[in-house]
Structure 1
Amino acid sequence: LEAGLGGRLDATNVVNQILTVITPISFDHTHILGKKIYQIAREKSAVIKNRNPTVSAPQHLYAMRVIRNSAKKHKSPLYVLGKDAKFSIKRLTLNATEIYYRGIRIKGTLKSFLPGKFQAKNMALAALSLEVLGFEKFDFKKARIEGRFEILMNHPLLVVDGAHNTLSIKSSLESMNRTGGKNFSLIFGINKDKEVRKIVKLIISVNPSYVYITKADTPRAMLPHEIESIFLNYGFSRVKSFSKVSEALRAALSRENKILVTGSFYLAGEVKSLSEKIIASNT
């Protein structure tokens, strides 16, 4: 089970789990979880409520302090990636991610067909979690996650990633740079409750060829012209807003060779549905 929002008050927190896994904590849903990293960590670490083990990704110092205190309070053994298990990236391509993993008992190469630099850390965290549960034989070659750095087309290259906070969008941009190559364009749309200005600065820092701004079909989405004005205020002019996702996608596909769609799972879902129709019409 994955907590939908935070942890302390999330519906999934009614279960009495055999293992708790805490992924990297960053700023998201701050109007509910708190504006400080330790406040968000406190909400998330509240899922630790028994003596069963806890596994954590590397965290901000303040977040890790909260997690350690919560684990200690509930007498939950804590295992941390980077301390109890380590990994290094062997290969990153648009088709696969390969790491060298050195865990509690297992050492060797692990491979998945999920692209994206962030999937290397995810795979190592999953491996540590499985080891803590007592598994010694496992692989990730059949793992599949829709909407997370998912390749929808190859010519032109069209990648969708539902990344929607500062940390995940940074990872998505890094992954596109490293596996897809530089000089890519973006189709971007985001919800109003996100750190939009910080995320826009991140996007500008990778110097995309062009940014096609649009909005998913949800009342939470920020209006495209409002996002465009933020880009323009920061001095980035290779940008245009579209009222419909279909219009933004059509414009990008007609002009670009490499496109990353990011900012919202709502947006990723719409683009995925539209691209399937385009592929079907061309076959």
Structure 2
Amino acid sequence: MTYAAALAFLDGLITADRPRPPYSEVKLARMRHLLGLIGDPHRRLKSVLVAGTKGKGSTAVMIAGMLRAQGLRTGLTVKPHLVEYRERIQINGQMISQADLAALVEILPWGPPTYVETTVALALLHFVRREVDLAVVEVGIGGRLDATNVLDPLVSVITPISYDHMEILGETLTEIASEKAGIIRPRGRVVSAPQPDEAAATIEQVCRVQQARLVQVGRDVEVRATASTLSGVQATVQGLRAIYPITVPLLGRHQAINAGTAIAAVEALADCGITVAPDAVRRGLAAVRCPARIELIDSRPHTVIDVGHNPASMAALRDTLRALLGGGMLATKDYRSVTALIAPMADVVVTTTPHNPHALSADALADEVRTYAPTVIAVPDRRQAVERAQALAAPEDVLVITGSFYLVGEAREWLRRRKAETPART
């Protein structure tokens, strides 16, 4: 099978009219059946499983970076991808090759698995074949019934929980936390970021029932951010085994919490015979890259791209912009949740229509945003929307592009290509 044929097969699994599998135990039964057909790779992997509402991708990348800095062959699967499908499956920071992906797709049974189930199966099979020492796996939606929950993780990590996917996970933080806590194993090791009271109580209760050891960031592990600049965040993390002065080249004080959570997870691995030295912790975090997580990609005007898609992520983006850049901004966005949090900061908002059959149109979103912003312009074509926003922005302005992974991924590629082709400005 060619790489193009493999991508065509995977893309064919995404159909707007295809019903989702029921949100029940059937989901994991389907996943286990699929993995059984390809040799049960999940039973042969040591893993760290990362669930949560916000920060789970960044936290997973940080954990993988520290393990890699220690010299461990580290698999990483995160989702979704920005530009290319292969971003979802990495070993030691390198995407799976086109040839390897095509070969793995050819092995899979061409039956009814979903896109997500297929992607998880491909990642686990690739990690086993390449004999990774440890796989860091980001959960998709929830945790209890997510396709990744077939794993038996050495450490279960839960990043900050807030409201998202409520039509599936429940309307309250207690219900949502119960789903996230589904990744906790009997007598397992659990690391939790600071949580709202309802979520924290739920996680603590599940740990008591499962007799799991819980490490809570903010209680057992202390994080103190000492500086937050356009170069990243500096912090001191007092873990259970050492004190770590760290620098993380990601924007926003919330990344210090993500780093503290990642360090606590790495420390917990010591109980399993996997020790990461303090120097590897520092080097791993200093080398972290998380594209499109409040990423500054240009300075004239300051251009920030971000894939935040729920109110908690929007609040983090708003607070980071206020702290680091101040002033007004222009924004493109394709989700309603941004309006109340981000739009009031903007002088001009450009709305667009993402490539999704269920997406809100640029005009409909513009009607929503007009309640909050003085000037709103609807540009349905995505590339033209980005170009319009750039044309409106003066060198001293701030341009923010935020929305779905796919919209932001496209915009990031366009802007990087345009910057490379444009002579440096003085």
Common fold: TM-score over 0.5: yes
Distance 2:409 2:199 in 1: 31
Q: Which residue of 1 aligns with 2:408?
A: 268
Q: Which has the higher helix share?
A: 2
Equivalent residue in structure 2 for 1:41, among 153, 177, 187? 177
TM-score normalized by structure 1?
Answer: 0.92
1:3 and 1:10 in contact (8 A); partners too:
yes
Equivalent residue in structure 1 for 2:301, among 138, 156, 174? 156
Q: Which residue of 2 aligns with 1:169?
A: 314
Q: CA RMSD in A?
A: 1.6
Equivalent residue in structure 2 for 1:184, among 329, 336, 348? 329
Q: Which residue of 1 aligns with 2:106?
A: none
Runs of 4+ displaced beyond 6 Å: none
Distance 2:164 2:196 in 1: 14
Equivalent residue in structure 2 for 1:199, among 338, 354, 358? 338
Equivalent residue in structure 1 for 2:374, among 237, 244, 269? 237
1:169 and 1:262 in contact (8 A); partners too:
no
Give unpaired runs (5+ residues) of structure 2: 1-136, 271-275
2:339 and 2:372 in contact (8 A); partners too:
no
Q: Which residue of 2 aligns with 1:216?
A: 354
Quote the offset at 1:180 in angstroms: 2.6
TM-score normalized by structure 2?
Answer: 0.62
Quote the offset at 1:168 in angstroms: 0.7
Once the two structures are superposed, what CA deviation does each residue of 1:193-214 show, in whole Å capped at 9, x if it has no partner?
xxx2x53111244x22221111
Give unpaired runs (5+ residues) of structure 1: 191-195
Aligned pairs (5 A) from 1:112-131: 112-131=248-267
Q: Helix, strand or coil for the counterpart of 2:369?
A: helix
The more displaced of 16-25 and 27-36 is 27-36
Structure 1 residues 235 and 142, CA gap change in structure 2 (3 angstroms): closer
Once the two structures are superposed, what CA deviation does each residue of 1:61-82 show, in whole Å capped at 9, x if it has no partner?
1111111111111111001111
Quote the offset at 1:185 in angstroms: 2.0
Equivalent residue in structure 2 for 1:146, among 291, 295, 298? 291
Percent of paired sites with the same residue: 28
Structure 1 residues 235 and 100, CA gap change in structure 2 (3 angstroms): closer
2:346 and 2:373 in contact (8 A); partners too:
no
Q: Helix, strand or coil for the counterpart of 1:133?
A: helix
1:95 and 1:113 in contact (8 A); partners too:
yes
Equivalent residue in structure 2 for 1:2, among 104, 119, 138? 138
Distance 2:372 2:314 in 1: 20
Does 2:198 align with 1:62? Answer: yes
Distance 2:373 2:331 in 1: 13
Distance 2:211 2:327 in 1: 47
Distance 1:75 1:235 in 2: 48
Aligned pairs (5 A) from 1:62-81: 62-81=198-217
Distance 2:220 2:154 in 1: 19
1:88 and 1:100 in contact (8 A); partners too:
yes
Q: Helix, strand or coil for the counterpart of 1:216?
A: coil
Q: Which residue of 1 aligns with 2:392?
A: 255
Higher CA-based Rg: 2
Q: Helix, strand or coil for the counterpart of 2:183?
A: coil
Once the two structures are superposed, what CA deviation does each residue of 1:160-183 show, in whole Å capped at 9, x if it has no partner?
110000001110111122123322
Once the two structures are superposed, what CA deviation does each residue of 1:29-85 show, in whole Å capped at 9, x if it has no partner?
111111111111111111112322100011111111111111111111001111001
2:347 and 2:373 in contact (8 A); partners too:
no
Q: Which residue of 2 aligns with 1:193?
A: none
